[in-house]
Amino acid sequence: MSALLAALVLLTTPLAAQEALPSPLVSPVLSIETIEPRGFGYFVGDLLTREVIVTVAEPFTLEKASQPAPRRLSYWLDLRSVAVEETAERGGTRYRLTLAYQTFYVPLSSAPRTLPPLTLRFTDGDETVAAEIPSFDFVMAPLREVQPQRPEGGPAGYLQPDAVPHGVSTRSSRIRFGVGLVTMFVALALLAYHAAWWPFGKRPARPFTHAARSLQRLSRQPNGRSYRAGLLDLHRAFDAAAGQRLLADDVPRFLVAHTQYRPYAPEIGRFFASSRRAFFGNDVAGAAKVMPLTSVAALSSELGAAERRAA
């Protein structure tokens, strides 16, 4: 009986010990996958693109500080760009990192090179885990002939004569430039003639245009003297356009003979009324209320435009 009890104790002891052992920890890093470029045939200045795919369990996320940044890694290797794509999956998050490297190594013969390993850290706020990305080995080749051909003239045969310079005709460009320059000057001259600019500004056929220029200057300094001077400038313009002294009673006959100014008849009548009040009534302030100097300047500009249209 005692032997049977001892056997039962020996059989049950390992099972109890096994049940007492803690269960192994499950890493939140569910999977690590790399998509590598080819491992050979690279020259100086070539680009190599690696893709690293890491899947982690929720709620772990990638630490921004552990994400590699574009920079110079060594004298022969630059990390040009890093693109991170985050995709939610059932129970986790999938991170795809696309890393573009550029080589600046000039080997004298085919030589192995290595892209460095990476360590990506993921955190849930309390715990941090690391995903180790292995290095990648590849082979670089030199940019030179395998067996350069020796020229017949010895090393001096490698030298090539200077290229003979060839003249490039600029005749068509000069013709186009000349035509454009002449066209510009003709257009500018026509515009100056139309607007009565210098040297066409002294034409007697543009009295309202000259008055408009004078009134624009006077309207910047409005006072009693400038108001009277502005009225006189426009009066002289009416006299020059009519070929005689033009009074208020002569305005209807003037508009019949000069139809281009008919649309401005109400403003012309207001101008003569304010002029009569200023000069014959000696009431400059009241005349300025009837038609301010800015309105007189605007009327002269409109009459000048009509004058140029009719020319």
pLDDT for res 311:
66
pLDDT for res 173:
93
Q: Rounded CA gap, 285 and 222, in Å? A: 11
* Both tokens assigned to 33: 């996958």
Q: How many CB atoms lie within 10 A of CB 81?
A: 13
What is the value of pTM for the model shown? 0.42
Q: What are phi and psi of 197, to 5 degrees?
A: -80, 170
- 3-class secondary-structure state, position 79: strand
Mean pLDDT value of segment 5-29: 48
Q: How many CB atoms lie within 10 A of CB 233?
A: 22
pLDDT for res 19:
39
Confidence of residue 147 (pLDDT cuts 50, 70, 90): low
Query: Can you say whether the dihedral through the CA atoms of 8, 10, 14, 17 is positive or negative?
Result: positive
pLDDT for res 21:
38
Q: Rounded CA gap, 36 and 98, in Å? A: 10
Rounded to the nearest integer, the mean pLDDT of the chain is 84
Q: For residue 139, what are the β-bridge partners?
A: 112
Which residues contact residue 38 at a Cβ distance below 8 angstroms, ignoring those fewer than 6 apart?
138
Mean pLDDT value of segment 200-211: 73
Confidence of residue 268 (pLDDT cuts 50, 70, 90): very high
Q: Helix crossing, 224-242 with 207-218: angle to 10°?
A: 180
For residue range 35-56, what is the model confidence (pLDDT) as tens digits?
999 998 899 999 999 999 999 9
Q: Helix crossing, 224-242 with 293-310: angle to 10°?
A: 20
- Using the 8-state DSSP alphabet, how is residue 206 labeled? -
Q: Where are the alpha helices (DSSP H) in the chain?
A: 2-20, 171-195, 207-218, 224-242, 251-257, 265-279, 284-290, 293-310
Q: Helix crossing, 207-218 with 293-310: angle to 10°?
A: 160
Q: Rounded CA gap, 214 and 201, in Å? A: 12
Q: How far, CA to CA in Å, does 31 sit from each of 26, 113, 133?
A: 12, 27, 11
Does residue 16 have a pLDDT over 90? no
pLDDT for res 113:
93
Q: Which of 20-29, 147-156, 242-251 has the lowest mean pLDDT?
A: 20-29
* Both tokens assigned to 56: 């982690």
- 3-class secondary-structure state, position 33: strand
Of residues 3 and 52, more confidence is placed in: 52
Percent of the chain exceeding pLDDT 90 equals 42
For residue range 107-117, what is the model confidence (pLDDT) as tens digits?
888 899 999 99
Q: For residue 54, what are the β-bridge partners?
A: 32, 95
**Which residue ranges make up each domain of the chain?**
29-140, 194-310
pLDDT for res 145:
63
Q: Rounded CA gap, 45 and 51, in Å? A: 20
pLDDT for res 11:
42
Does residue 150 have a pLDDT over 80? no
- Answer yes or no: CATH 1.10.10 is held by domain 29-140: no
Q: Rounded CA gap, 78 and 297, in Å? A: 70
